Amino acid sequence: MNLENETDIGKAAESPGLPPLRFSELLEKKVILQDWGEYEDFFRFSSNVGKIDEGSVLVKVGNGFELIQGFPKIKRAIMLAPALKNHFKDIYSVAVEEKMNGYNVRVIEHKGELVAFTRSGHVCPYSSERSGHLLEHDFFKDYPEYVVYGEMVGPDNPYVPKDIYGVDSLEFFVFDIRSREGIALPLHERRELASDYGFTQVELLGEFELGEAADRIREIITELGKKEHEGVIIKDPSMILQPLKYTTSQTNCADLRHGFRFYNESGKDYLFARVVREGFQSVEWNESEEEIKDRCLRLGESIIRPMRESILRVQEGERIRDDVRIRVKDESTIDRFRMYLERLGLDVIFSPLERIGDEYVVNIRKMNKSTTDKTLGIIEGQLWS
Amino acid sequence: MNLENETDIGKAAESPGLPPLRFSELLEKKVILQDWGEYEDFFRFSSNVGKIDEGSVLVKVGNGFELIQGFPKIKRAIMLAPALKNHFKDIYSVAVEEKMNGYNVRVIEHKGELVAFTRSGHVCPYSSERSGHLLEHDFFKDYPEYVVYGEMVGPDNPYVPKDIYGVDSLEFFVFDIRSREGIALPLHERRELASDYGFTQVELLGEFELGEAADRIREIITELGKKEHEGVIIKDPSMILQPLKYTTSQTNCADLRHGFRFYNESGKDYLFARVVREGFQSVEWNESEEEIKDRCLRLGESIIRPMRESILRVQEGERIRDDVRIRVKDESTIDRFRMYLERLGLDVIFSPLERIGDEYVVNIRKMNKSTTDKTLGIIEGQLWS
């Protein structure tokens, strides 16, 4: 599509309700960005514009455009009981689903293929191929107006690989079905519909009256923590009120362990937020002296041990990196995924592909140049100014 | 002084070597700021301008102006041995002085009174009064071109009160004597001169050949750590090379304990830097599994316990605050110090003054509104967005 074409710009503007002039302005200011290569039918919003959230995508459909709303930001309960009481005060009960630790995507069908958008609105070639194999296409034929939201989870995960879910390769766990404008189906309706099409879904852990919800969720969180699982999403079953998230101490600490391996790259806000949660959870759970000590040790170890490991690695001449893996059916996905990561600014090294059954496995090394260089500098006597 | 007076502006500009136009420009842009009240003879630099460091001060002297250089930023060794080897490679030995935990000031005499500047170049009324009682005035008569640099340490300290040094009230520990342009006297010459005038000085902990310095300093740091002392400044005895600082794990943790009490006010950079130091020290010191575990627990406790305490306090209806104390001879210092803190934007509550001997003691409550409000919000169910 040629964006210099006035007519196209006018049409693109129709869907999100922006006047044509504003739309071309936003393109020029790079608030709206066109995807590349085979995905140039897609335009993502790099920031909020009126009621259109960052990460929303405009999709070229025929001669017009359609808007797909961004991934809704789910707010976090820091202190569970008062947050539940406050946020869900007008409803009778809440449903609790597992919050899985992977990466979330929104999937639609476009020109006969499934397309998966990341949170920021990029089309991820790997997630798109995988979704194509993991999700029943009939659903999208029957409900072209719906968007399927899910968490991609498992070890063959180039973003957040996890072995803790008993997933062999990569699975798509549906957690939401929404209209393109972002309106969610009620929870039970969504679970039934997804089940009708054989979708794998996140686990429904229970539905509780508001008065007992905090206690029940705490029990759930304790059990999930033992397995290093991430936490829960607490939902209004009618999906009218926004959901809340609440996570285990163990996942906070796992995030910190990962973050401090790449201490010079991880955002300080990211690390700080996880530390603060620990303090509040400790108070809310009325911890004994022994439990407090355990939590302190767990937190300290999540910080010091990964840093030690990274420093020792650099001392031994290694470079700090994050090793991940993908598994594809279509060989061409590999190159398209590499280009995608490089466009995002990542420094990646792809291993030669290995054929396993009817699929190819490729190991990807994401190089952490900033942490490597900083560590090397300090080892060589560089000062902290 | 009327700054609209062209002649004065011209004269003010003479000393730092700025053309008059530039000087009045900097005043207008608030890069140079005039102090207030009785201190309007002083103009501080709020950022670096050419070779003039942030915190430098222009002092009106007669009809002209003199520049007093800012406090030199002392760089930090993260890994001690390579940092020493690298930074001091051209000299034979280094001198090690204690780095005390207080706040540093620069002192000059102006119109017959001692004036103490903080790091940012403000005149602190309290520090000025105290310096007047703690430092021998003859020195300033005999060496009007010199600036005395020192750490103000002890419990009667409105910034960093510490009981660990056996100081009853507040003491001025000289650590540097420099010309107004910032050129430092050689270490032994400075120690002798300061001693001649009866100044209290920071302790000289030793002078070591470069090859053995890292081991000796590590021994010193271990001993200082046991007393919760802060650390050391490592100096080229001739004071030609810039000094380095290196601190104990215990002082890092004490800083974190203080910082996490006011978790919503403390800078994330401040907290993060202290955490990173722990990882490198642990590796450099080749810690055993037990020592690593101790360090992890110490770090975790420095984070969780003060947060817990603050949250529990707010739950009990208290407001988070930092209680400090000052002790003055001149009653008027109290009001001037209160005005000074309020001008700096602090929310302070002063107790009624109490007469003790020939002095007055006042307790000051520095209110941490941001941490109090954030904590209260979360306790009441506010979400973390």
**Mutation site, A80, A262, A283, A285, interface B, largest B CB count within 10 A:** A283
Picking from B304, B307, B320, B374 by the largest number of A CB atoms within 10 A of its own CB, the best residue to mutate is B304
> What does the pLDDT read at residue A384?
80
Residue A291 in contact with partner chain B when CB distance is under 8 A: no
Whether B138 and B262 share a structural domain = no
CATH of the domain at B374: 3.30.70.2160
Residue A7, pLDDT > 50, answer no
Q: Indicate whether A280 belongs to any domain.
A: yes
If asked whether residues A19 and A47 sit together in one domain, one would say yes
User: Within an 8 Å CB–CB cutoff, is residue A301 touching chain B?
Assistant: yes
Whole-number pLDDT of residue A50: 85
Q: CB distance from A210 to chain B under 8 Å?
A: no
* pLDDT (0 to 100) of residue B7: 47
> Long-range contact list for A212-219, CB < 8 A, 24+ apart?
A213/A84, A213/A88, A213/A93, A213/A94, A213/A96, A214/A80, A214/A81, A214/A84, A214/A85, A216/A96, A217/A80, A217/A84, A217/A96, A217/A246, A218/A80, A218/A285
Asked whether residue A10 carries a pLDDT value surpassing 90, the answer given is: no
Task: State the total domains in chain A.
Answer: 4
| Whether A279 contacts chain B with CB within 8 A | yes
Q: Chain B within 8 Å of A380 (Cβ-Cβ)?
A: yes
By C-alpha distance, the chain A residue nearest B375 is: A280
Residues 117-146 of A with CB under 8 A from B: none
Is A73 in the B-facing interface, judged by CB distances under 8 Å? yes
**Is there a domain that residue A19 lies in?**
yes
Query: Residue B371, exposed/middle/buried by CB under 10 A (0-12, 13-18, 19+)?
Result: buried
Domain boundary among B315, B341, B360: B315
Using only C-alpha atoms, what is the Rg of chain B? 22
User: Is there a contact between B283 and A77 if contact means CB atoms under 8 Å apart?
Assistant: no
Q: Tell me the shortest Cα–Cα distance from A217 to chain B, in angstroms.
A: 16
Co-location of B59 and B111 in the same domain: no
The model's pLDDT over A171-219, given as tens digits with 9 standing for 90+, comes to 999 999 999 999 999 999 999 999 999 999 999 999 999 999 999 999 9
φ, ψ of residue A181 in degrees (nearest 5): -80, -5
Cα(A199)–Cα(A192) distance, integer angstroms: 10
| pTM assigned to the model | 0.90
- A145 and A166: one domain? yes
Report the length, in residues, of chain B.
385
Instruction: Count CB pairs under 8 A between chains A and B.
Output: 163
Total Cβ atoms within 10 A of residue B328: 21
Same domain, A129 and A192: yes
Please provide the average confidence, as pLDDT, over all residues in chain A.
93
Distance from CA of A297 to the nearest CA of B (A): 4
The pLDDT assigned to B10 comes to 55
List chain A residues with CB under 8 Å of B277. 384
Sign of CA dihedral B138, B144, B150, B156: positive
- In terms of residue numbers, what domain contains B146? 75-246
Same domain as B85, residue B63? no
Give yes or no for a contact between B134 and B171, defined as CB atoms under 8 angstroms apart: yes
Is the same domain home to A179 and A299? no
The nearest CA of chain B is from the CA of A27 a distance in Å of 28
Does one domain contain both A85 and A119?
yes
Mean pLDDT (whole number) for A291-303: 97
- Token digits for B133? 């009682």
- Chain B residues closer than 8 Å to A78 by CB: 378, 382-384
Domain end (from A25, A52, A68): A68
Q: Do B300 and A298 touch (CB under 8 A)?
A: yes
Pair B41, B60: CB distance under 8 Å: yes
Chain B CB contacts of A308 below 8 Å: 279, 282-283, 292
Decide if B36 touches A, using CB distance below 8 A: no
Q: To which H or E segment does residue B224 belong?
A: helix B210-226
Asked if A383's CB is within 8 angstroms of B77's CB, the reply is yes
Please report, for the domain that includes residue B237, its CATH number.
3.30.470.30
Name the A residues in 219-258 with CB < 8 Å from any B CB. 244
* Residue A379 placed within a domain: no
Residues of chain B with pLDDT under 50: 1-2, 4-7
Its ipTM equals 0.89
**Nearest CA to A269 among B22, B174, B384?**
B384
Contact list, A315 vs chain B (CB under 8 Å): 283
Asked whether the beta carbons of residue A296 and residue B303 sit closer than 8 angstroms, the reply is yes
CATH number of the structural domain spanning residue A60: 3.10.450
CB contact under 8 A, B382 and A86: yes
Tell me, yes or no, if A315 comes closer than 8 A to chain B by beta carbon: yes
Residues B372 and B274 grouped into a single domain: no
Q: Do the chains contact at A79 and B301, CB–CB below 8 Å?
A: no
- Alpha-carbon distance of B144 to A40, in angstroms, equals 73
Type of residue numbered B359: E
In a domain, A1, yes or no: no
Record: contact A87-B268, CB cut-off 8 A: no
Residues B80 and B157 in one domain: yes
Would the CB atoms of B279 and A268 count as touching at under 8 Å? no
Question: Residue B284 sits in a domain of what CATH number?
Answer: 1.20.58.2250
Does residue B262 contact residue B371 with C-beta atoms inside 8 Å?
yes
SS3 string of chain A?
CCCCCHHHHHHHHHCCCCCHHHHHHHHHCCCEEECCHHHCCEEEECCCECCECCCCEEEEECCEEEEECCCCCCEEECCHHHHHHHHCCCCCEEEEEEECCCEEEEEEEECCEEEEECCCCCECHHHHHHHHHHCCHHHHHHCCCEEEEEEEECCCCCCCCCCCCCCCCCEEEEEEEEECCCCECCHHHHHHHHHHCCCCECCEEEEEEHHHHHHHHHHHHHHHHHCCCCEEEEECCCCCCCCEEEECHHHHHHHHHHHHHCCCCCCHHHHHHHHHHHHHHHHHCCCCHHHHHHHHHHHHHHHHHHHHHHHHHHHCCCCCEEEEEEEECCCHHHHHHHHHHHHCCCCEEECCCEEECCEEEEEEEEECHHHHHHHHHHHCCCEEC
> Is residue B145 in some structural domain?
yes
Say which of A83, A271, A383 has its CB closest to residue B383: A83
Q: Does residue A260 sit in the same domain as residue A350?
A: no
The kind and range of the H/E element at B245 are strand B244-247
Asked whether the beta carbons of residue A280 and residue B307 sit closer than 8 angstroms, the reply is yes
Q: Do B73 and A385 touch (CB under 8 A)?
A: yes
CB A328 within 8 A of CB A293: no
State whether residue A90 sits within 8 Å of chain B by CB. Answer: no
Which amino acid, residue A344?
Answer: L
- Is the minimum CB–CB distance between A384 and chain B shorter than 8 Å? yes
Contact B308 A292 (CB under 8 A): yes
Q: Which residue of A has its CA nearest to B278?
A: A304
Name the closest residue on chain A to residue B89, using Cα atoms.
Answer: A381
> Which chain A residue has its CA at the smallest distance from B268's CA?
A268
Asked if the C-beta of A77 comes within 8 angstroms of chain B's C-beta atoms, the answer is yes
Mutate to test the interface with B, among A297, A314, A370 (most CBs of B within 10 A): A297
Cα A21 to Cα A14, A64, A204: the distances in Å are: 11, 17, 46
A235 and A283 together in one domain: no
3-state SS, A106-146, equals EEEEECCEEEEECCCCCECHHHHHHHHHHCCHHHHHHCCCE
Nearest to A304 among B75, B84, B282 (CB): B282
Q: Taking a C-beta distance cutoff of 8 angstroms, is the pair A71, A19 a contact?
A: no
Euclidean distance between CA atoms B99 and B245, whole angstroms: 8
Please check whether residue A305 touches B, CB under 8 A.
yes
Check B296 against A300: CB less than 8 A apart: yes
Number of neighbours of residue A361 by Cβ within 10 angstroms? 16
Tell me, yes or no, whether B1 lies in a domain. no
Last residue within a domain, chosen from A240, A271, A306: A240
Residue B385 lies in a domain: no
Residue A384 within any structural domain of the chain: no
Q: Which of A16-25, A81-90, A324-333, B223-232 shows the lowest mean pLDDT across its residues?
A: A16-25
Cα–Cα dist A251/B185, whole Å: 54
pLDDT category of residue A25 using cuts at 50, 70 and 90: confident
Quickly tell me which residue has 């950079």 as its tokens.
B269
